[in-house]
Each structure stands twice: as C-alpha cells, then as structure tokens.
A and B are shown apart, each in its own frame.
Chain A
Amino acid sequence: GAGVSQSPSNKVTEKGKDVELRCDPISGHTALYWYRQSLGQGLEFLIYFQGNSAPDKSGLPSDRFSAERTGGSVSTLTIQRTQQEDSAVYLCASSSRGSTYNEQFFGPGTRLTVL
C-alpha cells in the first residue's frame, strides 16, 4: 500500500517568505508527527497529532511555526517569515496508534532551503 508522502520534495525560498509543507499519512493511521532534521543532527520533534485530540506542540521552536491536520488525515506545516536557520529536512511520520509503543512510518521528507 501507499506509504507516507510529502510535498514538495524540495523547496527553496527567500528569507522572510512563508512556506507550507504537506504530509499525507498512511490511510487509517491516527497519529502523525513532524520532525526537523538538520545537517549532522538527529531528528528534532516538532508536533504530534493524535485523532481528534489537541496536538502536542511542545517541540515547535518558535511561534513562526504552526501545523494543522484536516479531517484527521492530511497535515500542513507552515513556517512564517522563514529564516536561514530554518533550512533543514522536514520529516513527517505516521503510526497506527499514537502510543509510545508503535513504530512510526516516515515520509521522504521536504528539503527546505532558505536563502
């Protein structure tokens, strides 16, 4: 079956512009995660959605970052007024249930470059 998909695969933007990154999780997966992977760094947790519960936004680095998940499926991560330090690969993952037990299935990522 289809895995997690993300779009665009690459995004180049100018400093100060807003960007939207999209994630389509595996059908039926109720949990969705966003991570940021910077060069030489591990995966930095950003935000977590589980069903209809309020999202866990504890990992968002600033108020320029926001995310939503419509209809319990597709998610959009928005970065406003992008800065050069926002350049990274943004990874989305989904899992069938949101418990800490379940493995996550990752998408290919969106590589964001802020000039």
Chain B
Amino acid sequence: AQKVTQAQTEISVVEKEDVTLDCVYETRDTTYYLFWYKQPPSGELVFLIRRNSFDEQNEISGRYSWNFQKSTSSFNFTITASQVVDSAVYFCALSEVNTGNQFYFGTGTSLTVIP
C-alpha cells in the first residue's frame, strides 16, 4: 500500500489562478515528518517545506501555503496566483521516526501553468 498518495497526476491552470496539490499519507507512527519537494524541468528536486506530526499549524511562505490536517492525514499545498515558473512536478514525502532511514515519496503531481 502506498504510504503517500498524490491522486492528481497532472494539473493545468492559467497563470494567476490558485491551485491546490493534494497529499494523503498513511502511517502508524505518532512521530513523523512530512515534506514537499519541487522538481522543475531542469530535474533537480528542491526542498520546499518540512512539518512534524506535532505541529498542525498551517504555514505560509509568500505565494505558497500548506494545510496539515492529521484528522484526514492530509498535507495539501496551495500556490496562490500561480506563475509560469511554478510549472514543475511536486512531490510529497513522509518519513517515520520509528522506521528509520526511509523517506516515502508520492508519485508526484505535474503542474503546468499556462501563460
């Protein structure tokens, strides 16, 4: 079973629209971390954010915001006023303290922002 599910394979939006990328995770650990990474067309994954399981506060960074809800095991990512430079594949990931070393990545959501 997938530990991290990103149900949206591809999303296209017109520039300046808001877009939300969904991430649902599965874990039995009480202590875990959630991450979002961006993989632009150049190929290198870039770290965006990390949240720990004890901090459900939503976070905003510029046009990016993240909504962490333990009740629904979701860690959704919203881009406000999207720009062409936001076009990339976005990955959600989970790491479990008791599992040790592995990071579990979702299959990614490919976002295309149309000018």
Residues in chain A within 8 A of chain B (CB atoms)? 3, 33, 35, 40-43, 45, 48, 50, 56, 58-59, 89, 91, 93, 98, 100-101, 103-109
Contacts and interface: CB of A to CB of B under 8 A. Distances in A.
A88 B88 CA distance: 19
A114 B35 CA distance: 32
B103 to A, nearest CB: 7
Interface string B23-55: 000000000110101000011111100101000
B4 to A, nearest CB: 7
Given A56-B102, A91-B45, 16 more contacts: A33-B101, A42-B4, A42-B6, A43-B93, A58-B102, A93-B45, A100-B32, A100-B33, A100-B100, A100-B101, A103-B47, A103-B50, A104-B47, A106-B37, A107-B44, A109-B44
B14 interface: no
Nearest to B49: A103
Interface of B: 4, 6, 9, 32-33, 35, 37, 42-47, 50, 52, 91, 93, 95-97, 99-108
Contacts of B103: 33, 43, 45, 100, 104
Nearest to B104: A45
